[in-house]
Structure 1
Amino acid sequence: MTKPELMLWGVLRTRPAGLKFRRQHPVGPFVLDFYCSAQRIAIEVDGIVHDMGDNPARDIDRDSWLRQEGVEVIRIAAADILSDLDRVAGAIVKRCATPLHQPAAGPPPHAAHGED
């Protein structure tokens, strides 16, 4: 793990807001930096290497594949973690703690019933 990944893992491993995060979690042909299974959210830490060669295209393909599998991807620049870990971790926890469906709003629509 890189330094920014280790820093972020130091926060996420404490189960902030009761959320469980996994690190180096395999999904299909990929290994995710971090994964919140309760919300099906992947957190990817992007260092400078993600801007080199064919890596940007590979990241696009990877994110597309994950979205098709129902996994949301949050990409975070490693530099952001290094400069303000608390802000980054807080934003991740806030997003992961927000349920995709609020029970008070009633049951979620069912695509099988034409309620896309």
Structure 2
Amino acid sequence: MKKARADRKQMSFPEVLLWQQLRKEPDGFRFRRQNPQIGYLTLRIPAVEILKDLGAVITGLVVACRERGPLHRPSDGPPPRSGEEF
């Protein structure tokens, strides 16, 4: 976990550019940095692509998110109690 925390603090220039845009929640999508305790859908983007055309990278991420669909179900109330799954 210490390594993940250190990696988040020491971002490369392309990572800084990318996260500046992702914090703006493009098309309403929220992005999170990796956390070793939580599973995520991970997309690898070469730094050269970010430097070459950041707008296209953001558009590609939004398209990928739309195709994937929501990662959670909208809440219709409190979550089910343990053992009462759907």
TM interval, short-chain normalised = 0.5 to 0.7
For the pair 1:74 / 2:43, whether they are aligned, the reply is: yes
- RMSD of aligned C-alpha atoms? 2.3
The separation in 2 between residues aligned to 1:20 and 1:79, in whole angstroms, is 23
What are the Cα deviations for residues 74-113 of structure 1, in whole angstroms up to 9, with x where unaligned? 111001100110111110111112316xxxxxxxxxxxxx
Map of 1:15 onto structure 2: 25
Say which SS state the counterpart of residue 93 (structure 1) adopts: helix
Map of 2:64 onto structure 1: 95
Map of 1:86 onto structure 2: 55
Map of 1:6 onto structure 2: 16
Give the length in aligned residue pairs: 60
Extract unaligned runs of 5+ from structure 2. Answer: 1-10, 71-86
Higher strand residue share? 1
Map of 1:26 onto structure 2: 35
TM-score (norm 2): 0.59
Give the ranges of 4+ consecutive aligned residues of structure 1 lying more than 4 Å apart after TM superposition: none
Indicate if the aligned counterparts of 1:17 and 1:97 stay in contact, CA closer than 8 A. no
Q: Percent identity?
A: 37
Question: How far has the Cα of 1:8 moved from its partner?
Answer: 0.6
